[in-house]
Amino acid sequence: MLDIKFVRENPDAVKANIRNKFQDAKLPLVDEVLALDKENREIKQEVEALRAERNRISKQIGALMGQGKKEEAEEVKKQVAADASRIEELSAREKVVEDELLKKMMVIPNIIDPSVPIGKDDSENVERERFGEPVVPDFEIPYHTEIMEAFNGVDMDAAGRVAGNGFYYLKGDIARLQSAVLSYARDFMIGRGCTYCIPPYMIRSAVVDGVMSFAEMDAMMYKIEGEDLYLIGTSEHSMIGSFIDRILDEKDLPYTLTSYSPCFRKEKGAHGIEERGVYRIHQFEKQEMIVVCKPEDSPMWFDRLWKNTVDFFRTLDIPVRTLECCSGDLADLKVKSVDVEAWSPRQKKYFEVGSCSNLGDAQARRLKIRVQNEKGEKYLAHTLNNTCVAPPRMLIAFLENNLRADGSVAIPEALRPYMGGQTELKKI
């Protein structure tokens, strides 16, 4: 959410940003917000003047009564009552205006970073860099669920009977492999200086409103019926929420955290053939990174975060690339975002396995996350998040890139301590 003062002073820049995000339907919001803001300020000014006048003339009542001027005192009382009635009327209108103003402000997108490429959707994202050499082996690579089934490692049919489409059972070495990847990711991020956290898996609506846009919430979140609780779509939601309505001491910044959680998502819409199996699902696990820092440090942390993901995947012999998300592909709260994509030898292309985002002060403004410096001055923090690893989607890349011609799967050295020393997975 933008600062209303910024919108008031830079309406053309706000409109240009909306156009750059190809959300022209939101353009009228800017003028509507300006009108509501003007009315709100006028109401406050009138209320303040009426209260001052009421206080002034109220003092006259006692003096008039003391002078025996009862009729004049009664007239003054009528004026005080009229002013009180007007203040009550204005205060009621003020609440309506402020609620409407906030509602509209929450829909206006954040100002994107000048470095973000302008484009309508993810088809216009820009490749930044490749890491590792993509390889296409001279043998056929089966679909990922077929690879898992060769190890008796997945059961989609049973999950469908139990929970419906979009769920899965992982078993045996494949289940162990997922747990190993997450344990390795945990230690990898601790080694990068992050504090390990396990957060609540449900959050209240006030936190949901603070960490994401309404459109994202509708597309992603599962609501707990009869409770003011939502299942988290990523641990970022819960982790950023832990700072709600807090004043942080500047000397304690940055907070660099890595969190594990299961994640739950609706995943609405039709899915292509490559998004079957365990690629696009309602439940998965993830190791996340979160940073809360000073505004001037967020660009540096942004680059450090996505590089952590690249380094992690490269230790597992998986080639990756980074994509700069274009303006039309950015969620409304994001200032800048980079996707990390892993190489799929079977598809002969890259696919998304993680995303790194700088949200500027948008979440901090919604959640009132402030920082106080040594002079006692307060300002809004910046928040960032990044996916270290999110199996089982990551398992697709792992299995395809480490599959051998005989159907076995090599286990990279970095992962062996978490797999009981195994160097490979063998078909059953």
Residues recognised as catalytic:
265, 280, 352, 355, 393
Distances (CA, A) of 175 to 149, 159, 171: 12, 14, 5
The 8-class DSSP code of residue 316 comes to: T
Between CA 233 and CA 217 the distance in angstroms is 9
Using the structure block, give the residue that is written with the tokens 């490269």: 314
3-state helix, strand, coil in the chain (%, to 5): 50, 20, 30
Main-chain phi, psi angles of 119, to 5 degrees: -165, 160
244: number of Cβ within 10 Å? 18
Q: What is the largest CA-CA distance in the chain?
A: 109
Handedness of CA 321, 324, 330, 335 (dihedral sign): positive
Question: Are β-strands 154-155 and 336-344 bridged in parallel, bridged antiparallel, or unpaired?
Answer: unpaired
SS3 171: coil
CB 326 within 8 A of CB 292: no
- Residue of 358, 355, 388, 171 whose CA lies nearest to 260: 388
- Residue of 302, 343, 337, 310 whose CA lies nearest to 323: 337
